[in-house]
Amino acid sequence: MANVLDREKQVAIISALAEGSSIRSIERITGVHRDTIMRLGVRVGQGCATLLDRKMRDLACSNLQFDELWGFIGKKQRHVMPEDNLELGDVWTFCAIDSDTKLVPSFKVGKRDAATANAFVTDVAGRLKNRVQISTDSLSAYVQAVEQAFGANVDYAQIVKVFEDQSADAEVIGMKKATYAGHPDMSLASTSHVERLNGTTRLHMRRLTRLTYAFSKKLENFEAAVGLHFAYYNFVKRHNSIRCTPAMAAGIERDFWTTKDLVEAVA
C-alpha cells in the first residue's frame, strides 16, 4: 500500500511519474508493484489538484493563452459503444498559460464542448485580480464562455489557422487574427506558448505521449495524472527561459520546490 512506502521511495516514484516514466518501467526500477504505484500516483495527483486550487488565487496574469489537449479514457471515441460508460472515449484537457511567467493557473478535463469550456473559462476568471488579454484557437465555444465569465473586462482575440487543404496532415500556410472583445494587442495575440506547453505535457505525461500503449482506464486516474503534472510544472520544474519555476516568476513562491516538497505538501 502507498501508506507503508517510506518517503524516499514515494519521492522516487512521483519523480519518475512526473518526468514521464511509465508505471511498468517504474515497477521494474523500484521493485514496487504497479498497483501500489497507481494508488500512490492517484492520491498525490488528487492532492496536487487541491494544492493548485488553493495556491492559484488573486493572480496578476496579463496575457493568457488557452488551448485543448486530446487524449482518451479506456478506448478511442470511434470504438465507444452506446452501452459503454459515458466517461470512456475522447477526453480533452483545457489549459491556460501566462505567456510572461509560463504559469499554468487553471486546467479542466472533460469533453471538447461548451459545458467544459464554460467551466474552464469561469474558473480562470475567478483566479485573476486584473483585466487580462486572452488568445485562443478558433473553438467556437470560447466566444460565449469568455463573454459569460469576463463580461466587458477582457481583451480577447482568436487565432485561426489557415491550412493548405482539408487533409489530416495539411500544412499551416497562414493565420488570421480576429478581435472578439475589448481591444487586444494583436502583436501579443498568439497561441504559440500554449502549443509549446502541449508538447511539454505530452512529453511528461505517458498517458498523452503520441503512439503509446499507455492510457488511462478511469477518468479519476487521468485527472490525477494531469493534476500531478501541472503541480510539478508550476512548482518544481525549472524553465530555462525564466531561470526559475513559473510559481516563482508569478510571485506565488519565493524558492524552488523539490519533488519531496511537493509530496509533503499534499501528504
CATH of the domain at 84: 3.30.420.10
Greater confidence, 91 or 171?
91
Domain extent, residue 56, equals 2-266
C-alpha gyration radius of the chain: 19
**C-alpha dist (Å) from residue 57 to 29, 63, 64, 106, 149:** 38, 16, 15, 10, 16
State percent of the chain over pLDDT 90. Answer: 72
Q: Which of 180, 195, 92 is nearest to 142 (CA)?
A: 180
Q: What pLDDT digit, counting tens, does each position of 102-122 carry?
A: 999 999 999 999 999 999 999
Q: How far apart are CA 52 and CA 39, in angstroms?
A: 20
pTM, two decimals, is: 0.89
Residue 260 has φ and ψ, to the nearest 5°, of -60, -45
Tell me how far apart the alpha carbons of residues 121 and 101 are, in angstroms, rounded to a whole number. 19
- CA 38 → CA 1, 13, 26, 218, 219, distances in Å? 10, 10, 10, 12, 13
The structural domain count of the chain equals: 1
Q: What is the pLDDT of residues 37-85, one digit of tens each?
A: 999 999 999 999 999 999 999 999 999 999 999 988 887 888 878 888 8
Q: Is the pLDDT of residue 163 over 90?
A: no
Would you state the cell numbers that stand for residue 218, as one nine-digit string?
Answer: 478511469
Alpha-carbon distance 71 to 57, whole Å? Answer: 28
Q: Would you list the DSSP string of 98-116?
A: ETTT-----EEEE-SSHHH
Mean pLDDT of the chain: 90
Distance CA 81, CA 39 (A): 28
Amino acid at the residue 27 = E
